[in-house]
Structure 1
Amino acid sequence: MKNSKILYQHGTLALLVPGLLTGTITMGELLAHGDTGIGTGEGLDGELIILDGVPYQVDSHGNVNVLKEDFIMPFANSHFADYNELGIINNASSADFEKAALEGKPNSNTFFSVLVKGTFSYLKTRAVVKSTKPFATLAETAKNQSIFEAKNVKGILLSYYSPALFHGAAVAGFHNHFLADDHSIGGHILDFKIAEGTISVQQFDTLEQHLPVTDKEFMKHDFSKDDIAKAIADAE
Structure 2
Amino acid sequence: MSHAKAKIVVLTGAGISADSGLKTFRDSGGLWEGHRVEDVATPEAFARHPQRVLDFYNERRRQMLAAAPNAAHKALAALEPAYDVAIITQNVDNLHERAGSTRVLHLHGELAKARSSVDEAYVVPCLGDQTLADVDPHGAPMRPFIVWFGEAVPLIDTAIEWMRDADKVLVVGTSMKVYPAAGLLQYASPQAEVSLVDPHPPTGLTEIEVIAKIAKEGVPPLVSSWLK
Calculate the TM-score normalised by the size of structure 1: 0.31
Give the helix-richer structure, 1 or 2: 2
Give the strand-richer structure, 1 or 2: 1
Higher relative contact order (CA 8 A, sep 6+): 1
